[in-house]
Amino acid sequence: MNLATDRNQRVQLRDLPGVEGLDLHVSTLFRWASRGVLARDGSRVRLRTTRVGGRVYVRLSDFDAFNDRLNAESGGQGPDASERRRREIDRAEAELAALGV
């Protein structure tokens, strides 16, 4: 089966870098599957995997969806980092002003 055309093919998570031609360490992929990564909108995105016996598999289409979600613009779903940071600074300045500092 040609992996380039069948994105529903499951591959072992440890084999994904070789299949996709990525320069990633296997522990990075396991971290993405277990803890996930923060997206631009502040949500946590996890790489969807399936465990069969002692092996962890990922569909290439799920890896594509994971990348698409991380690379997507926030699209109004939440504030971007600069807006959040500005609010945090404003809140801290207000607290300092209330304390007279």
pLDDT tens-digit profile of 81-98? 677 788 888 899 999 899
- Whether 62 shows a pLDDT value over 50: the answer reads yes
**Average pLDDT for 37-42:** 83
- Whether 1 shows a pLDDT value over 50: the answer reads no
Backbone angles phi, psi at 50, to 5 degrees: -130, 135
**Average pLDDT for 50-59:** 92
Number of other residues whose CB lies within 10 A of the CB of residue 57: 17
**Average pLDDT for 60-64:** 90
Task: Tell me how far apart the alpha carbons of residues 85 and 18 are, in angstroms, rounded to a whole number.
Answer: 38
Compute the mean pLDDT over every residue in the chain, rounded to the nearest whole number: 83
Number of other residues whose CB lies within 10 A of the CB of residue 63: 22
Task: Tell me how far apart the alpha carbons of residues 14 and 27 are, in angstroms, rounded to a whole number.
Answer: 9
